[in-house]
Amino acid sequence: MTVSPKFRTPYGVTGTDIAAALGMKPRAKQSVTLVTKRHGGGLPTRILVLVDGEYFEVLERTFAELERGVTPADLELEPYDPADDFNELES
């Protein structure tokens, strides 16, 4: 028996797929790689991630959103520039 592709079994559907379908927003196909985590000083953990060739410094909640498929543009993230950190230390 051949089943057409539009009828998927419930076992192939994840909660994220259902949420994306209800929100009518398709998830982005992006590669998210955790590069480093910085802890300490009473500040929240900062995570440096690589998303499709660009680096971003984010908090844990934003990292989870990126892993879910939300794009950096949707989150209004600015690319990370390590030179910015160096210049702040010299001032």
pLDDT means per 10 residues in the chain (91 residues)? 53 64 67 89 90 92 91 92 64 48
Residue 5 lies in a domain: no
Residue 63 lies in a domain: yes
Which pLDDT belongs to residue 60? 92
Domain that holds residue 69: 29-90
Which pLDDT belongs to residue 55? 94
Which pLDDT belongs to residue 83? 75
Residue 83 lies in a domain: yes
Q: In what order do the strands lie in the sheet with 32-38?
A: 32-38, 46-51, 54-58
Which pLDDT belongs to residue 72? 92
CA distances from 11 to 15, 19, 68 (A): 11, 16, 19
